[in-house]
Structure 1
Amino acid sequence: MSAEQATAPADEQPVESLRDLAIEEAALDLLAARVAAAKKDVRARTQAALDTAAKRDGVERIVATLPTGQQVATISLRKGETGPVVTDEEALARWVRRTWPDQEWTETRIVRTVRPWKLAELVAEMEAAGAAKVVDKATGEVHDVPGVVIKPTRARTHALTWRKGGKDATAEAWRTGALAHQLAAITAGGDDK
């Protein structure tokens, strides 16, 4: 910006073309939608490939490398988590009431429920044990807990970690067309709704 433009009154400063702004916003909206869809698709395909490679070869990470050979990022497998999940609150509440009838750990409404603080305590104990079992601290008896199963609570996924300079190098490769093959789906024609 020149010194004249900086001191000019607001009504004399150059105004961006409303038409230019409109097409820029429309193009970026379309690009954002296509990038989001492409990212969702490639994450699913990457996860499936990582799961297969981990099972077959023990692979837990892969390096993202540009066509020039420059390593720009690392994609690492993150294991899912397994833990207790209450599947039948009513059965669980009936069991808690039968097992500890003198305690006020349940409430009777239309159906019996376990008070949230006690449920959290029981779930934590089952999570630590890795089984839908609880030990009665007074008697030492081990109880199978109805209405609870141990199952995946967080899906297995992966994370992308950029290397120093990796974002700039990837942007430059995109700008120069070196990633045209990988990004073709984003700019290809298609049925947009």
Structure 2
Amino acid sequence: MSAEQQTEQPVESLRELATQEAVLKLLAERVAAAQKDVKARTQRALDAAQKRDGTERVGAYLPTGEQVATISLRKGETGPVVTDEEALARWVRQTWPDEEWTETRIVRTVKPWRLAEMLAEMDAAGAAKLVDKTTGEVLDVPGVVIKPTRARTHGITWRAGGKEQTAEAWRTGVLAQQLAAITAGGEAA
């Protein structure tokens, strides 16, 4: 044996690497599709449970009975959203012609600092309305609506050791029934 042959390290097989990458890609695609599906179903179930009896969280348990995580409802948020900047800018200019809260470019816009202030006022009021500080009149604001700005969702909080317990349950086959859909035949999206 030559000195060169003795110092060479074993080289990973390109075929083995290609196979491993293909398998992991398929698994990742199927996991992503399954996660999207179960997350949507969980959200619908949490929304229904919250509406029915006020439930906002539920435990996640392994088939062996250990609680590994808690799934908790996160409420969405609503607030003012500008839907027609041009209409809003025209209205601001007409309502407060002496103030320099708008600027003319190709179209009139509200200066960002003033828009942020107005949106904050509307957010606090929960309506697309402003109070004229001079007259006290409540003004409807065109080009702005109050609508969801962040979807209602849920999150997972792992218990201490929960990830490790779940990984062990996966490794030992305890989760085979829960993971069957991922490894079943058929094409992933």
Q: Normalising by the residue count of structure 1, what TM-score does the alignment of the two structures yield? A: 0.90
C-alpha separation between the residues in 2 aligned to 1:192 and 1:132?
Answer: 44
- Identify unmatched segments of 5+ residues in structure 2: none
Deviation above 3 Å: which 4+ runs of structure 1?
8-11
Q: Matched residues in 1 for 2:185 and 2:86: separation?
A: 53
Q: Distance in 2 between matches of 1:87 and 1:25?
A: 45
TM-score by length of 2: 0.92
Q: Name which of structure 1's ranges 41-50 and 144-153 shifts more when overlaid on structure 2.
A: 144-153
Please name the residue that 2:88 is paired with: 92
Q: Decide whether aligned partners of structure 1 residues 66 and 115 sit closer, same or farther in structure 2, where only a CA change above 3 A counts.
A: same
RMSD across aligned C-alpha pairs, in angstroms?
A: 1.8
Question: Cα gap change, 1:122/1:11 in structure 2, threshold over 3 Å: closer, same or farther?
Answer: farther
Partner-residue secondary structure (3-state), 1:13 = coil
| Residue matched to 1:41 | 37
Equivalenced residue count is: 186
SS in 1 for 2:51: helix
1:115 aligned onto 2:111:
yes
User: Which of 158, 162, 166 is 2:162 aligned to?
Assistant: 166
Which residue of 83, 89, 92 maps to 2:79?
Answer: 83
Q: How does 1:1-193 map to 2 (within 5 A)?
A: 11-192=7-188
Change (3 A) 1:40 1:68: same
1:52 and 1:9, CA in 2 relative to 1: closer, same or farther beyond 3 A? farther
Q: Identity across aligned pairs (percent)?
A: 78
Judged with a 3 Å threshold, the aligned counterparts in structure 2 of structure 1 residues 136 and 10 are, in CA distance, closer, same or farther, namely farther
**C-alpha deviation, 1:97, in angstroms:** 0.6
1:11 CA drift (Å): 5.0
